Structures are given as structure tokens and as C-alpha cells.
């Protein structure tokens, strides 16, 4: 009797499919196969072999086996199966996230080498009319060893010109000097730095790789030199044949970090992030899967890759909310990393100056080892933080007089300053001062942000945009004006006040081009006086030694939010952005503008003691029965009408009726209508995590069988980051 295999597909279906295994073929879990599916062909991943075939159904055979080896070795397979169950996301889609796009599409798992070109022949034979081709030939001729096709394109030539010269035998493919996979090549170029006594003390408390699974929370204040500790740790503990994974929130924002790692580990460093193209992804994936001794610096999804010899995990800025995927497979990269270390029996270091309450709680209850590093590295001292009451003070572009004066003094001393604004664009809303009309998004329950540079009004929640007008669209009054601050406006005011100083704006709009943050930051890296103005992007991990002043335009946004995580996120952002001040030899100063200068949270911020604020916040979470003291999951629904969304959630509420499970809602979401979809949510909260997991599984299975109105959708989010 032929054997049967159970196969997962890359579809949002909570079920697997059985196929006959052809004679003479043996399959292992995680292996890629091609199978007939409906009238099409699909790529599948083997989940189980030797299963009992269902009775009375004739099965189709597996069509072909894509490679002999398993794309997902057993540890990765186990990890993804666990994550599928924990986050209640269909197994097939979870497994496929661990494959690069090329392999999801069924392409061969072969390294795609870059094309390299060398000049040959005599370029002088080209006719004068072909001056572009001549220029290309001259340009390539400079490179004796040849140059990559992608570099040629980057230099402004086209693939067509390249081909034309190839056809004329003036360019020929060159052999790649490429990276050899030999581990001897992975030799460090520089020796590890000497750690300060405080760093050494912290480093000594980190586990040895022989200790097996061991999670440490490295609480090191901003600028305390955590990165240096990671480098030192890897240098000392990672064996020549071992792989390591360093998770970071966003690579493109902090090219410095990668550069620092490369300085010590050279070619051994590879990166994984969303800006890689398909062949770059495939190449990195193959090295990871083949067990090459790499150190991978990657964003969230790197934690799902099929490492073969993973020996150490590091999660930098572990508090960062971008570790949680916001759609589809809603996993937390940090939490999956901890589970992975556990599966793998290897150490993991979670580092942050502002640890998440979850991790800090785990440290307090002994699950993680808490390592404290409360001194800045080198000669730097922590910055002094003070509140600036802006009630009844005139503001210019959001800046008060004292703040402008402080900026002037900073520049006078030859230093740099950073101004933190919470919103990109020019102003969060346009309002008519005659009729009170505010321009709203026609598709969302939000207002349109005014972007003066592009003369547009844009919705930050959908892709709607419209041309900005000078008169009120409703009553045609001229008294139609921007209200509130965005980065563009602050940039203008700064430029007007400091006409000879470069103003460097950093936000999603200014950095949209790939790699442009590097270019933008070059100005800052010169160390010459300048003012940086920007959003959260500036709060993340940057090391600008000459920034001595940080001004926070308005700290009040998160103070009164309904989201239970808002206070935590507010102090994290404020401390992180404050931490950009005074990292070099000069002391830093932080001015936080607020209308609530007697708010306990902001007062505590001035002492800068994060852990005591965290203790306070944890006490509030415990009293309010919130995570990390409880387990939480949210069902969300969206549909063409609010009624439909609420109906779906009502039926979930009935299914969720179980002892020990508290159910809140259903209620419309904070932004109830987004891109013309009506959204609502239902929160489940309990102190029985295991119980919640099995309940959720049952609910999801049932829901999948149920018919819901056309166009409606439900989603489940376990350990949600956002509850609004």
C-alpha cells in the first residue's frame, strides 16, 4: 500500500492536505514538494509522513520533490508549529514565512550569483552616436576585476546598454570574486574593544553557551555600551562553526550598528531585512540553512529562518513594538526568539535601556536574569531631563521661547541639537476658523494631515490624499489654517530662526528613498553644528556624539490614552529620545515641553530611573488585571457595516463563554472606520494562559466553518500590542 503524506500550503486555511507518496520516494517534514491543487499546481511543505489515508477519498500523488533535503530542519519546524498554535495562525502560512519568496514560488534552492562584467575589446570602435555605450565601456574598464551588473545599473546605465556592449563583444561576463563559504575567511579584522569596569561586570554575568537555555535581560541605560557588550560576548563565546542571530527593530535606521559589527566580524556578518531583493534573500537563506558560521543581523522575521547551527540569540531594543507583526501572522519576534533559544538550549540576551514590562516582569519573577548597567560608557554622563511648562506660553512651530534659546546656546557652543516631534507632515489637521470645519478622510474616521511640501492633505491610515486648498472647502472662507505641529512646520520655524544652521529632517517622508537615511545622517556625522528634527525614527539607537540638547515638542500625547500600554510606550519613547543627548564627552540636556508638568509620570521621567517607573507601571497593570499579569487576546472584525462586524464578534463572544475567561466588548475600534471598513473588537482576558490557548483553538476552528457576510473578515491577535 502506498504511503500518505500530509502537506501544508501557503494559504490561510486551518487544515492540511493528504497526498500519496510516489513509490521509491521518502519524505521528511519540512521538505518542499510540488502537488496538484484544484486545477493548479502548488508548492507544499511536508508536515507528516506515514499518515493513515482518509477512507473513501481517492488521493492524488505528490507530483515532484523539489529537493532531497528538508527546507525546515526539525528545530525550525517545531518552532513554527509552536508559533502557529500559540498565535492561532494557520500552520501553512506560518511554515511558509520561513522561506524566501523565491522558494515559496517553487524556484530551485540554488544560490543566485550576481552577474559580473569586465570590459574587453576596444571601445574606440564604437560610433560617435553611441556615446552612452562608450561611456559605459570606459566606466567598466576602470574595474580590472570586473563589476556587478547591479552596480552598473546603480551608476545610471541601463541593462539594454549593457546587453548592446555584450553583443558587440565589448563586455564579457566576469568570474565572481564573491564570498567564499569557508569559515577561515571569517576572521575578525579588529580586536574587541576594552570594556569599562561597569561593562565588564555586566558582561561577566552573561551566561556561558554551555549553560544551555538561559535568558538574560540586559538593562543598560542609553549610551551604556550594550552593543559593545554584544560584540564582546560573541567574540568570546561564539565558536568558529556557530551561528548567531542579532535581532534589531529596524536596520535601515541604524546603519551604524551593522557597520560596528562588520568592523569586528567582517564577512561573517550578514543582514536580513525588508529592503533585500529576492535573490539576496535566497542567498542569505541558503547560508543560514546550510549552517554556515554567520552572524545574522536581522529584523523580526529573521527569527523564523531555518538556522542549522544557532548558538546564540541577541534581541536589541527588546521593548520595541516593531517586533510584533501587526497583520497576518501576528507573532512577536522577541517572544519567538526566547522560545527558540529554549528549544535550542542556547543563551539569549534581551537588551534595552527601557525594557518592556513583560520582560522586566519575567526578570523580577526569576525567569530571566536581570543584569544592570547604569553607567554610560566612556566619559559620558546621563543627560539631565527637565520639564518645560508651556501652558499660556506663545509657541512658534510648537517651540517655546526657552526652547529656542536653549537651541541657540547649543549651536553657539558648536554642538548639535535634536527636536522631537510626534507627527510627520506640516500639521495634523486643517481647520476653518470661520465655520469650524476640519478636513476629514472620506474613507476613515480620521482627519487629514497637511503636507505642505507636496501641497497635499493625506490620510495616515489609508492611502487617500487630495490637493491642499487655501480656502475652506465648506464655506470658502480664507480663514483656513493648519492646527497643531508636524515635522515640516517645526523644520520651517527652525530654518527661520537659525538661518545659517543646517536643519536635518528625519521622518518617513524624508527617508522614503532606500538608503537615504545614511545620506541624511552624513550631515550629522560630520559633527558640525546642526539641528535634527524628526519623529520616533530619531529615538532609535542612534549614536550622535555631538548632540547635547534634545527638545521634546509635546510629551502629552500618550498621557491620557485609553490603551493600557500607552504610558509604558510614552516613557520608553521619551527616555530613548532623551538618550540621544550627551553621548560623547559633553553633558546632555533634555527639555520636555508639556501642559501637564505635575503629571506623576512626567515628574518621574526627570529622575530618569526607568526601573522604578516600570515598578510603578507594573503595579498599575496588576491592579487593572492587565498583561503581563494576565494573558490577553483580541478578536477583531471588519466588514462593510459596523453591524456585521459586531455580529461576528457577538457570535465569538458566545463561543468564548467559559469559566475564568473575561470577555470585554464587542466595541467599535478606536478608529471605527478605516479605508471604508467598519472595525470592531472583542477582548479576552484571563489568568489561565493554557486554558485560553485551547479555547482560542476551538473558537478559530469553529469560526472557519461558519459563514460570515461577504467581504467581512475576522482576525485573532494573541498578546496584542495595540488594543485601541
DSSP 261-289: HHHHHGGGEEEE-TTS-HHHHHHHHHHHH
- For Zn ion, the closer of residues 459 and 530 by Cβ is 459
* Residue 583 binds: one of Zn ion, ligand ATP, none (C-beta under 5 to 8 A by kind): ligand ATP
- For Zn ion, the closer of residues 484 and 608 by Cβ is 484
- For Zn ion, the closer of residues 49 and 465 by Cβ is 465
Number of H helices, E strands in the chain: 20, 32
246: contact with ligand ATP by CB under 6 A? no
Strands (DSSP E) found in 203-299: 214-220, 243-247, 269-272, 295-298
Q: Residues 639 to 698: which contact ligand ATP by CB under 6 A?
A: none
Distance separating alpha carbons of residues 20 and 49, to the nearest angstrom: 10
Site string for Zn ion, 232-271 (x = CB under 5 A): ----------------------------------------
Q: Which of 209, 225, 355, 534 binds ligand ATP (CB under 6 A)?
A: 225
DSSP conformational letter for 180: -
Residues 6+ apart with CB under 8 A from 350: 215, 216, 217, 218, 315, 318, 334, 338, 359, 368
- For Zn ion, the closer of residues 10 and 446 by Cβ is 446
459: contact with Zn ion by CB under 5 A? yes
- 530 annotated ligand binder: no
550: contact with Zn ion by CB under 5 A? no
Binding-site size, ligand ATP (CB under 6 A): 19
* Residue 464 binds: one of ligand ATP, Zn ion, none (C-beta under 5 to 8 A by kind): Zn ion
DSSP 465-525: EEE--SS-TTT--S-EEEES--HHHHHHHHHHHSTTS-EEEESTTTT-STTHHHHHHHHHH
Cβ burial 679-697 (10 Å sphere, 16+ → b, else e) = bbbbbbbbeeeeebbebbe
- For Zn ion, the closer of residues 28 and 465 by Cβ is 465
Residue 530: closest CA among 503, 497, 500, 496:
503
- For ligand ATP, the closer of residues 49 and 384 by Cβ is 384
Reported as half-sphere exposure (CB side, CA atoms, 13 A), residue 710 has a value of 0
Q: Which of 139, 143, 213, 464 binds Zn ion (CB under 5 A)?
A: 464
Q: At closest approach, how far in Å is the CB of 493 from ligand ATP?
A: 28
DSSP conformational letter for 325: -
Binding-site size, Zn ion (CB under 5 A): 7
* Residue 216 binds: one of ligand ATP, Zn ion, none (C-beta under 5 to 8 A by kind): none
- 475 annotated ligand binder: yes
444: contact with Zn ion by CB under 5 A? yes
Q: Residues 267 to 326: which contact ligand ATP by CB under 6 A?
A: none
Q: What is the 3-state secondary structure (H, E, C) of 690-721?
A: HHHHHHHHHHHHHHHHCCCCCCCEEEEEECCC
Distance separating alpha carbons of residues 22 and 313, to the nearest angstrom: 40
Q: Which of 462, 532, 684, 712 binds Zn ion (CB under 5 A)?
A: 462
Q: Which of 29, 73, 207, 220 binds ligand ATP (CB under 6 A)?
A: 220
Distance separating alpha carbons of residues 673 and 639, to the nearest angstrom: 10
Distance of CA 160 to the CA centre of its chain: 36
* Residue 226 binds: one of ligand ATP, Zn ion, none (C-beta under 5 to 8 A by kind): ligand ATP
Q: At closest approach, how far in Å is the CB of 543 from ligand ATP?
A: 5
Stretch that binds Zn ion, among 182-190, 454-462, 500-508, 544-552 (CB under 5 A): 454-462
Q: Residues 423 to 442: which contact Zn ion by CB under 5 A?
A: 441
525: contact with ligand ATP by CB under 6 A? no
Q: At closest approach, how far in Å is the CB of 607 from ligand ATP?
A: 18
Distance of CA 585 to the CA centre of its chain: 31
What is the side-by-side order of every strand in the sheet holding 631-639?
661-674, 677-686, 631-639, 713-718
377: contact with ligand ATP by CB under 6 A? yes
- For ligand ATP, the closer of residues 580 and 621 by Cβ is 580
DSSP conformational letter for 528: -
Q: Which of 223, 306, 486, 720 binds ligand ATP (CB under 6 A)?
A: 223
Q: Residues 154 to 213: which contact ligand ATP by CB under 6 A?
A: 193, 195-196, 199
Report the relative pairing of strands 661-674 and 677-686 from DSSP bridges.
antiparallel
Q: At closest approach, how far in Å is the CB of 202 from ligand ATP?
A: 10
226: contact with ligand ATP by CB under 6 A? yes
Q: At closest approach, how far in Å is the CB of 228 from ligand ATP?
A: 4
- In degrees to the nearest 10, what's the CA dihedral of 632, 638, 644, 646? 20
Distance separating alpha carbons of residues 532 and 140, to the nearest angstrom: 39
* Residue 441 binds: one of Zn ion, ligand ATP, none (C-beta under 5 to 8 A by kind): Zn ion
Distance separating alpha carbons of residues 438 and 436, to the nearest angstrom: 6
Q: At closest approach, how far in Å is the CB of 194 from ligand ATP?
A: 6
Cβ burial 223-250 (10 Å sphere, 16+ → b, else e) = bbbbbbbbbbbbeebbeeebbbbbbbbb
Q: At closest approach, how far in Å is the CB of 674 from Zn ion?
A: 7
73 phi, psi to nearest 5 deg: -60, 165
Q: At closest approach, how far in Å is the CB of 441 from Zn ion?
A: 3
- For ligand ATP, the closer of residues 223 and 628 by Cβ is 223
539: contact with ligand ATP by CB under 6 A? no
480 contacts 432 by C-beta, under 8 angstroms: yes
Q: Residues 569 to 608: which contact ligand ATP by CB under 6 A?
A: 579, 583
The conformational region for residue 329 under phi > 0 = left, psi -120 to 50 = alpha, else beta, is beta
- 595 annotated ligand binder: no
- 441 annotated ligand binder: yes
Residue 675: closest CA among 460, 424, 508, 467:
460
Peptide bond preceding 628 in cis form (omega within 30 of 0):
yes
Query: 3-class SS at 65?
Result: strand
- For ligand ATP, the closer of residues 91 and 577 by Cβ is 577
378: contact with ligand ATP by CB under 6 A? yes
Stretch that binds ligand ATP, among 218-226, 237-245, 293-301, 706-714 (CB under 6 A): 218-226
- For Zn ion, the closer of residues 253 and 642 by Cβ is 642
Q: Which of 425, 428, 482, 541 binds ligand ATP (CB under 6 A)?
A: 541
Stretch that binds ligand ATP, among 154-162, 222-230, 499-507, 555-563 (CB under 6 A): 222-230
DSSP 563-590: STTHHHHHHHHHHHHHTTTT-SSS--EE
359: contact with ligand ATP by CB under 6 A? no
- The set of cell numbers assigned to 33 is 514538494
Alpha carbon distances (Å) from 44 to 32, 50, 290, 339, 649: 6, 16, 21, 25, 33
Q: Which of 353, 551, 555, 696 binds ligand ATP (CB under 6 A)?
A: 353
- 432 annotated ligand binder: yes
* Residue 579 binds: one of ligand ATP, Zn ion, none (C-beta under 5 to 8 A by kind): ligand ATP
Distance separating alpha carbons of residues 289 and 71, to the nearest angstrom: 8
Binding residues: 432, 435, 441, 444, 459, 462, 472, 475
Site residues for ligand ATP per CB under 6 A: 193, 195-196, 199, 220, 222-228, 353, 377-378, 541, 543, 579, 583
Site residues for Zn ion per CB under 5 A: 441, 443-444, 459, 461-462, 464
Binding residues for Zn(2+): 432, 435, 441, 444, 459, 462, 472, 475
Amino acid at each position: 500500500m502506498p504511503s500518505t503524506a500530509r502537506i501544508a500550503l501557503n494559504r490561510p486555511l486551518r487544515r492540511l492536505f493528504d497526498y500519496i507518496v510516489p513509490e521509491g520516494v521518502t519524505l521528511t517534514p519540512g521538505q518542499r514538494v510540488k502537488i496538484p491543487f484544484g486545477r493548479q499546481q502548488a508548492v507544499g511543505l511536508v508536515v507528516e509522513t506515514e499518515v493513515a489515508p482518509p477512507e473513501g477519498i481517492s488521493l492524488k500523488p505528490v507530483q515532484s520533490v523539489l529537493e532531497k533535503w528538508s527546507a525546515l530542519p526539525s528545530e525550525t519546524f517545531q518552532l513554527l508549529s509552536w508559533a502557529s498554535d500559540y498565535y492561532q495562525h494557520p500552520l501553512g502560512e506560518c511554515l511558509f514565512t520561513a522561506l524566501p519568496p523565491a522558494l515559496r514560488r517553487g524556484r530551485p534552492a540554488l544560490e543566485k550569483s550576481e552577474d559580473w562584467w569586465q570590459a574587453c575589446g576596444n571601445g574606440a570602435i564604437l560610433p560617435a552616436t553611441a556615446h552612452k555605450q562608450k561611456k559605459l565601456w570606459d566606466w567598466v574598464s576602470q574595474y580590472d576585476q570586473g563589476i556587478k551588473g547591479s552596480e552598473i545599473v546603480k551608476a545610471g546605465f541601463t541593462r539594454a546598454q549593457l546587453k548592446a556592449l555584450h553583443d558587440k563583444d565589448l563586455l564579457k561576463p566576469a568570474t565572481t570574486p564573491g564570498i567564499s563559504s569557508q569559515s577561515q575567511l571569517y576572521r575578525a579584522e579588529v580586536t574587541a574593544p576594552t570594556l569599562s569596569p561597569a561593562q565588564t561586570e555586566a558582561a561577566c554575568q552573561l551566561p556561558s553557551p554551555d549553560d544551555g537555555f538561559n535568558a538574560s535581560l540586559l538593562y543598560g541605560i542609553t549610551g551604556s555600551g550594550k552593543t559593545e557588550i554584544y560584540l564582546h560576548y560573541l567574540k568570546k563565546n561564539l565558536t568558529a562553526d556557530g551561528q548567531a542571530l542579532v535581532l534589531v527593530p529596524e536596520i535601515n535606521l541604524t546603519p551604524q550598528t551593522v557597520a560596528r559589527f562588520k568592523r569586528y566580524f567582517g564577512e561573517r556578518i550578514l543582514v536580513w531585512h525588508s529592503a533585500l531583493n529576492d535573490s539576496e534573500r535566497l542567498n542569505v537563506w541558503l547560508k543560514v540553512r546550510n549552517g554556515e558560521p554567520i552572524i545574522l543581523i536581522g529584523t523580526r522575521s529573521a527569527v523564523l529562518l531555518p538556522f542549522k547551527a544557532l548558538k546564540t540569540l541577541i534581541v536589541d531594543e527588546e521593548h520595541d513594538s516593531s517586533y510584533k507583526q501587526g497583520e497576518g501572522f501576528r507573532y512577536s519576534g522577541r517572544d519567538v526568539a526566547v522560545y527558540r533559544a529554549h528549544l535550542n538550549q542556547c543563551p539569549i540576551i534581551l537588551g534595552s535601556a527601557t525594557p518592556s514590562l513583560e520582560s522586566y516582569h519575567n526578570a523580577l519573577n526569576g525567569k530571566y536574569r536581570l543584569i544592570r548597567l547604569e553607567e554610560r560608557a566612556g566619559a559620558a554622563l546621563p543627560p539631565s531631563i527637565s520639564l518645560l511648562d508651556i501652558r499660556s506660553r506663545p509657541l512658534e512651530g510648537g517651540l517655546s521661547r526657552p526652547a529656542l534659546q536653549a537651541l541657540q546656546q547649543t549651536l553657539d557652543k558648536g554642538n548639535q541639537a535634536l527636536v522631537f516631534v510626534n507627527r510627520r507632515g506640516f500639521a495634523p489637521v486643517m481647520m476653518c476658523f470661520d465655520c469650524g470645519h476640519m478636513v476629514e478622510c472620506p474613507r476613515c474616521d480620521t482627519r487629514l494631515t497637511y503636507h505642505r511640501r507636496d501641497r497635499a492633505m493625506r490620510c495616515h491610515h489609508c492611502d487617500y490624499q487630495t490637493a491642499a486648498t487655501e480656502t475652506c472647502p465648506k464655506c470658502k472662507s480664507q480663514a483656513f489654517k493648519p492646527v497643531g505641529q508636524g515635522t515640516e512646520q517645526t523644520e520651517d520655524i527652525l530654518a527661520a530662526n537659525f538661518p545659517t544652521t543646517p536643519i536635518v529632517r528625519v521622518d518617513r517622508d524624508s527617508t522614503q528613498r532606500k538608503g537615504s537615511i545614511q545620506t541624511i545622517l552624513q550631515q550629522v556625522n560630520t559633527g558640525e553644528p546642526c539641528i535634527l528634527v524628526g519623529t520616533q525614527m530619531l529615538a532609535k539607537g542612534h549614536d550622535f556624539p555631538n548632540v547635547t540638547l534634545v527638545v521634546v515638542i509635546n510629551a502629552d500625547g500618550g498621557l491620557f490614552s485609553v490603551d493600557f500600554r500607552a504610558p509604558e510606550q510614552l516613557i520608553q519613547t521619551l527616555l530613548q529620545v532623551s538618550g540621544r543627548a550627551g553621548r560623547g564627552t559633553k553633558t546632555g540636556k533634555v527639555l520636555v515641553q508639556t501642559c501637564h508638568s505635575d503629571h506623576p509620570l512626567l515628574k518621574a521621567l526627570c529622575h530618569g530611573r526607568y526601573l522604578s517607573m516600570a515598578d510603578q507601571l507594573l503595579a498599575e497593570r496588576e491592579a487593572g488585571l492587565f498583561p503581563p499579569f494576565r494573558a490577553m487576546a483580541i478578536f477583531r472584525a471588519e466588514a462593510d457595516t459596523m453591524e456585521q462586524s459586531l455580529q461576528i464578534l457577538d457570535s465569538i463572544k458566545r463561543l468564548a463563554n467559559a469559566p475564568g475567561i473575561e470577555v470585554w466588548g464587542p466595541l467599535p475600534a478606536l478608529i471605527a472606520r478605516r479605508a471604508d471598513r467598519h472595525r470592531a473588537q472583542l477582548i479576552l482576558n484571563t489568568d489561565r494562559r493554557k486554558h485560553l490557548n485551547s479555547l482560542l483553538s476551538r473558537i478559530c476552528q469553529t469560526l472557519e466553518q461558519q459563514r460570515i457576510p461577504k467581504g467581512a473578515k475576522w482576525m485573532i491577535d494573541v498578546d496584542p500590542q495595540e488594543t485601541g
